[in-house]
Structure formats: C-alpha cells, structure tokens
Amino acid sequence: MTDVKLEGKIALITGASRGIGRAIASSFAENGASLALAARGIEDLQQVAGTLRAKGAVAEAFACDVTVAEQVERLPALVEEKLGGIDILVNNAGAAGSHKFVNHPDGLWELLLEVNLTSVYRMTKAVVPGMIERKYGRIINIASVASKVGLRYMSAYVASKHGVLGLTRALAAEMTDHNITVNAICPGYVDTPMTDFAVSFMVARTGRSETEARKILEDTNPQQRLISPEEVASLAVWLASEDARGTSGQAINIDGGAVMF
C-alpha cells in the first residue's frame, strides 16, 4: 500500500467539479480523506463524487456558489452533518478574464474580486471557527503566479490573486496559536478547462491558430509546457499532511521556474 497521508481527515474542496479541484479531490481520496465537493453545477459534481465513491472513497457533493454569502455560510454545517467537522479547506474555485486597463469593464473587476478573493475570505471565515474549536486545520488557497507578478491585460485577475496571497499570509500569522496552517499554491498555466478557455479567447481575439495560442501559454513556463492538475494536487496533499505541519504562510510556485520568489 502506498503511503496514505490524509486518513481520517475531512476535506472541503471548492471548485471540485473539474480541472485542479477535481484532481485535488482525486489525490485526497487516494490518500484516505473523506471529501466534501463544492461547486455551482451539481450534476458535474455528482459525477465526480460517484467516480470517487466507485473507487471506495467517501465523497459528497454540495451545490454552493462561493459568491453567494448565505450559501457559503451554511455550507460547513451541511458538511458537518454528513461527514463531520472540516479538517482541511481547499479554496480552489476561481475564474479568469482579461481586458486592457483602458475602458476596463467594472463588471469584470467586480466579478473576479468576488469569485477569486472575497469568496476565499467568506469561506475561510465560515470554516475557521470549527477548526479553532477542534484545534486543528489546514487551509490551502489555490492562488497563482499572478499572486506574485504583474501580467498585462489581467489587472482584475492579478489584483484578486495578489489579494489571496495577502489574506493567506495575514491569516497564517493569526492562526499560529490554533494549530492551523494556511498556505497558497501558485501555479503557472495549468492544463484545465480554464486554460482551454484562455486559448479559445486568444484565438478569437487575435486570429492565431489554437496550436499557436496554446504554445504562447506553454512558453510562459521555462519548461515549455503546461503544468498538469495532478502536479498541483500532489503539492496540496503534502500541504494538507502531517509532514507539512511546520509550513505556514508560504506561497509555493509550480511554474517550471518562471517566477523565482
């Protein structure tokens, strides 16, 4: 048997229906965690939960829009009722979008700040009291290399992801007395539906072929490839495990060395 790192732990993963969130759910399941999977689209989530259950995992799907405060606030109690208190929270749900800054649509700014940053604030605020009570917690925020560097035409996304990193560090400092670690993972472009959408957007905007557009994104990584969702999941397993108990307030890049801080 492989080294199972999360036996007996209960993990809530937002945005678990596809891409990075789904890969994290799968790796957490392989490592023995019980899973609460959240996203807006319940059918896709049910499918992910069903696949994991077929492999012997405990997995429950919860419809939750992370931008709707009431849905977020009631989620921990629903999870507790079905699975128990949340030990691990992965704030992964997110959205991307780009626009040049001149005439930047206010709606895009508000949407990305809400989905990528305020949701992390709200979800963590809803989950953390239970962790404090149980004197244990692992919080993992899926940030981005855009948490560390500026990228042209991406002011709202970059601002939201810098905010996630600021919140990660502030919370890590505040949670040290409670045996709760708070860390961020900062990937470069990952091979997920979000990146497929970025490729399609570039094709539509610039008239480049799909291969050319994808190559531009691959070339942002010095290894000239997209990161796989499983690479992100593997780091999430480690951060959630006992092995990482001394690591908090960190923002770990997975980008082939594109950003070196």
Quick one: which of 88, 115, 184, 251 contacts ligand NDP (CB under 6 A)? 115
Provide the minimum distance between the beta carbon of 7 and ligand NDP in the complex, in angstroms, as a whole number. Answer: 26
157 classed as catalytic: yes
Rounded CA-CA distance 148/168 in Å is 13
Of 57 and 154, which has the nearer Cβ to ligand NDP? 154
Do residues 145 and 187 touch, judged by C-beta distance below 8 A? Answer: yes
Of 34 and 92, which has the nearer Cβ to ligand NDP? 92
CA distances from 248 to 7, 105, 121, 139, 171 (A): 21, 36, 17, 9, 10
Of 48 and 128, which has the nearer Cβ to ligand NDP? 48
What is the per-residue DSSP string for 38-73? Answer: EES-HHHHHHHHHHHHHTT--EEEEE--TT-HHHHH
Is residue 175 close enough to count as binding ligand NDP by CB under 6 A? Answer: no
**Residue count at the site for ligand NDP (CB under 6 A)?**
31
Q: What share of the chain is helix, strand, coil (3-state, %, to 5)?
A: 50, 15, 35
Do residues 98 and 157 touch, judged by C-beta distance below 8 A? Answer: yes
Q: Segment 45-104, which members bind ligand NDP (CB under 6 A)?
A: 64-67, 92-96
Of 19 and 130, which has the nearer Cβ to ligand NDP? 19
Do residues 138 and 88 touch, judged by C-beta distance below 8 A? Answer: yes
Is residue 149 close enough to count as binding ligand NDP by CB under 6 A? Answer: no
Is residue 195 close enough to count as binding ligand NDP by CB under 6 A? Answer: yes
Is residue 155 close enough to count as binding ligand NDP by CB under 6 A? Answer: no
Q: Which stretch binds ligand NDP (CB under 6 A): 13-21, 54-62, 124-132, 245-253?
A: 13-21
- Kindly state the tokens that stand for 169: 């560090």
Do residues 206 and 213 touch, judged by C-beta distance below 8 A? Answer: yes
Quick one: which of 183, 192, 241, 253 contacts ligand NDP (CB under 6 A)? 192
Provide the minimum distance between the beta carbon of 94 and ligand NDP in the complex, in angstroms, as a whole number. Answer: 2
Provide the minimum distance between the beta carbon of 244 and ligand NDP in the complex, in angstroms, as a whole number. Answer: 19
Of 142 and 213, which has the nearer Cβ to ligand NDP? 142
Q: What is the DSSP letter of 89?
A: E
Q: In terms of Cα–Cα distance, which of 44, 2, 3 is closest to 21?
A: 44
Catalytic residues: 157
Residues of this chain that interact with ligand NDP (CB under 6 A) are 14-21, 39-41, 44, 64-67, 92-96, 115, 142, 144, 187, 189-190, 192-195
